[in-house]
Chain A
C-alpha cells in the first residue's frame, strides 16, 4: 500500500512521531493510536455522551482527544495511552460543561440555544416523545420517596451528586445508587410496553 512505498525517514512527521517509541517496540505510535481508536472509540463516545447529553458534542470531544493524542510531543512517556485518552476526553468534556454554564449566565439567548439542543429526546423505534415522557413520568411517580427525591434533585434541579447527598444527609454513594435504580426503573417501564415478549433484539 501507499505507506509501504514511502520510506519513513524521507518525510519525518513531527506530529506522528514513531521516534518516541523505542525500536524494540513492534508497534509504532500511530499504530497504537489507531488500535485504540478501533477498539475503544465507541466505548469512549458512550462515556462522553453520558456526560455531555448531545451525541454531536460527544463525537467532537472524542475527535479532539485523538487529535491531542496524535500531537503529543513525547508520546513515549505516556505509558497508559488508553487511560490518557479517556482522561483527556473527560477533561475536555468537563471544560465544555463549565464553559456552557458560564455562557448561560451571560447570555440568555445562548442559554435558550443550548437548552433547545439538549432537550430533544431522540425517539426509540417510533415511540413518540410525549408517550415516552408520560411513561417516564409514571415510572418516576412509582419510585420510593427517597429514591425519587434523589433522582429529581440530581436530574431536574441539576444538583451534583455531592450537593444532592448534602441536601438529603446521605452518602454520595447512596445517591448514585438511587439515581441508577430510578433510571433502570424508567427504562424497564418502557421496555415492558414496547416488547411484551421480553426483548426482540
Chain B
C-alpha cells in the first residue's frame, strides 16, 4: 500500500515537472544551460511519457473553447499563487471554508475533534473518488495496462489470456489493456503480427498513431514507421479507422471547396493493405501478399515500391548501426527487394549500385546515406 502511495506521489511530481517544462519550452527562448538541463531531464523514459501526455492534454484542451472565464467575485476571493500544486491548494481551501463557519471553528481548535473531522473528510474524499469512478463509462480504461517491449533485432511472441497472440518485431512496444467489452492494444512503436481469438462481444482494437484497427477474430500485421502506419491483413477482415475528432469547420471547408474529404474508415480483407500518415489520412487500399508482410518473422524484410525513408526506419529496428538519410531526394527513392535482418551491411553495400546515393560511415554507430547529385 505504501509503495503504491509513494509511486503515486512520484508520478504526480513528474507530472508537475513535465507541465513546468512544457510551459517553459513553449514560451521562452532556451539558453545553452536550459538545453542541457532539458536534455538531462527528458532522457528518462518516465519523464518522456509524462511530457508527451502533457503535450496531448494541451492539444485536447483546444476543444474547451466555450468555457466561461471566472467572475470578478471569484477572482477576488482567490489567493492561489501557483506555488503549490492545485490539489494541495484545494485541500487548504476546503479547510478554510470550514474554518469560516462558527460550528467548525471549535472543531479545528480541539485536537481530538479535528482528528475526527480529518478522518471524516478523508472518508468523504475516498467515497467521492469511488463515486466519480463509478460514473465513468464501463469501457473507460480503468483496467490494468501491461507494457511489452523488445530490443533492437529481438523478436518475441506474447500469448494473451483470451487465446489471442501477438508476435512482436524488433524495437517494438505494445501496451495491452483488456476490459469486459473491449480488448485494446496500443502499438507505441515498431511492428507486430496479431492473431485475434474470436469474440464478438469484445472487439479487438489496435491503436497505432492516428488510427485504430478493429477486428473480431482474424490475423493482421501492423507496422509503424514513426507516424506512418501500414496495416496488412493475413486472415479474415478488419476495419481501419482514423482517430480524428469530428470537426464541423473541416466539414464546412470541405463543402465549400472542390476537394472531397478523405475516407474516415475502410474495411480490409485478406491480401489487402492500407497505410495512413501522421494526420490519420488513409491511403488507397492495395493488394499485398500476406507472406511479404509477415516475412519479418523469418528474418527477412521485404518491400514492394516502398519509399527508402520507411525502409530505413524499419531496418534501423534491426541494425546496430543507425542509418540516417541526408536529403529528401534520398528519402523518396523507391525500393523493391528483400533485406535479410542479419545481412544489413551487405544490403548497404549494394545500395550504391542501384541508387544514386553515397553510403558513408560517420562513426561506429551511424551510417549516412545521401544523394550523389546533391554534392
Interface set of A (CB-CB < 8 Å, partner B): 1-4, 6, 11, 13-16, 27-28, 30-31, 34-35, 37-40, 42-43, 46-47, 49-51, 53-56, 59, 67, 70, 80, 82-83, 86-87, 90, 109, 112-113, 115-127, 129, 131-133, 136-137, 140-149, 152-153, 155-156, 160-161, 174, 176-188, 190-201
Q: A186 with B59: in contact, given A34-B368, A193-B133 (CB under 8 Å)?
A: no
A129 touches B140 (CB 8 A): no
- Is A192 within 8 A of B375, CB to CB? no
List residues of chain B with CB within 8 A of the CB of A185.
85-87
Q: CB distance A40 to B39 under 8 Å?
A: yes
Contact of B15 among A39, A112, A187 (CB under 8 A): A187
Cβ contact within 8 Å between B86 and A181: yes
A42 to B20, CA, bound (A): 18
Distance in angstroms from A19 CB to nearest chain B CB is: 14
> Does B59 lie within 8 Å of A183, measured CB to CB?
no
**Any A CB within 8 A of the CB of B291:** no
Q: Does B145 contact A (CB under 8 A)?
A: yes
Residue of chain B at shortest CB distance from A14: B375
A49 touches B55 (CB 8 A): yes
Asked whether, in the complex, the Cβ of A55 is within 8 Å of the Cβ of B278, the reply is: yes
Which single residue of chain A is at the shortest CB-CB distance from B277? A56
Question: Contact at A129–B129, with CB atoms within 8 Å?
Answer: no
Having A122-B59, A152-B64, A188-B12, one finds 12 other A-B pairs with CB under 8 Å, namely A30-B360, A40-B39, A118-B62, A126-B141, A126-B184, A147-B82, A180-B19, A180-B22, A184-B12, A187-B15, A199-B11, A201-B145
CB contact under 8 A between A184 and B16, given known A148-B70, A198-B11: yes
Nearest residue, chain B, Cβ from A121: B60
Residues from chain B with a CB closer than 8 A to the CB of A199 are: 7-8, 10-11
Kindly provide the distance from the CB of A152 to the nearest chain B CB, expressed in whole angstroms.
Answer: 6
CB atoms of A186 and B22 under 8 A apart: no
- Bound-state Cα–Cα, A133 to B66, Å: 12
B365, A38: Cβ atoms under 8 Å?
Answer: yes
In the complex, are the beta carbons of A1 and B348 less than 8 A apart? yes
Contacting residues, chain A, for B184 (C-beta < 8 A): 125-126
Contact B27 A161 (CB under 8 A): yes
Interface core residue of A14, A16, A197 (most chain B CB under 10 Å):
A16
CA distance A185 to B82 in the complex (A): 12
Subset of 28 A-B contacts with CB under 8 Å = A3-B360, A6-B358, A30-B360, A30-B362, A42-B48, A80-B32, A109-B253, A113-B250, A115-B247, A119-B63, A120-B280, A121-B59, A121-B245, A126-B177, A126-B182, A145-B71, A145-B74, A155-B62, A156-B62, A176-B24, A178-B82, A183-B23, A184-B86, A188-B12, A193-B136, A194-B140, A195-B145, A196-B142
Q: Which 4 A-B pairs have the closest CB atoms?
A: A112-B253, A3-B361, A198-B8, A144-B80
B306 in the interface, Cβ–Cβ < 8 Å?
Answer: no
| Nearest opposing residue in chain B for A144, CB measure | B80
Bound Cα distance from A13 to B360, whole angstroms: 11
Flag if B205 contacts A126 (CB, 8 Å): yes
B345 at the interface (CB under 8 A from A): yes
Contact with A along B198-236 (1 / 0, CB 8 A): 000000010100101000000000000011000000000
Q: Which of B268-276, B295-303, B322-330 contacts A (4 or more CB under 8 A)?
A: B322-330
Would you call B22 and A155 a contact (CB within 8 A)? no
Nearest Cβ in chain A — how far from B67, in angstroms? Answer: 6
Judge whether B243 is part of the interface by a CB distance below 8 angstroms. Answer: yes
Given A152-B64, A180-B23, A193-B140, also A144-B86 (CB < 8 A) = yes
B91 contacts A by Cβ under 8 Å: no
**Contact indicator per residue, chain B 303-338, by CB within 8 Å of chain A (1) or not (0):** 000000000000000000010101100000000000
Per DSSP, chain A at the interface is helix
- Docked-complex contact A174 and B53, CB < 8 angstroms: no
B51 touches A143 (CB 8 A): no
**Is the CB of B352 closer than 8 A to any CB of chain A?**
yes
Is A43 a contact partner of B250 (Cβ separation < 8 A)?
Answer: no
**How many Å from the CB of B244 to the closest CB on chain A?**
5
Chain A residue with Cβ nearest B349? A2
> Which chain B residues border A186 with CB–CB below 8 Å?
57, 61
Quick one: closest A residue to B375, CB to CB? Answer: A13
Contact of A127 with B49 in the complex, beta carbons under 8 Å: no
Chain A: CB-nearest residue to B326: A70
Q: Is the CB of A116 within 8 A of B250?
A: yes
What A residues does B31 contact at CB under 8 A?
A: 83
How far is A145 from B11 in the complex, measured between Cα atoms in Å?
25
Contact A131 B137 (CB under 8 A): yes
- Neighbouring B residues of A116 by C-beta, 8 Å: 244, 247, 249-250, 253
C-alpha spacing A47/B129, complex, angstroms: 34
Contact A1/B361 with A46-B55, A188-B87, A194-B141 known, Cβ cut-off 8 Å: yes
Cross-chain contact B133 with A196 (CB below 8 angstroms): yes
- Name the residue among B8, B26, B175 with the largest chain A CB count within 10 angstroms: B26
- In the complex, are the beta carbons of A126 and B207 less than 8 A apart? yes
Beta-carbon nearest neighbor of B256 in chain A: A109
Contact of A82 among B18, B35, B227, B366 (CB under 8 A): B35
* Closest residue on chain B to residue A56 by CB atoms: B278
Please state if B55 and A50 are interface contacts (CB–CB under 8 Å). yes
* Binary contact track B34-47/A, C-beta < 8 Å → 1, others 0: 01001100110010
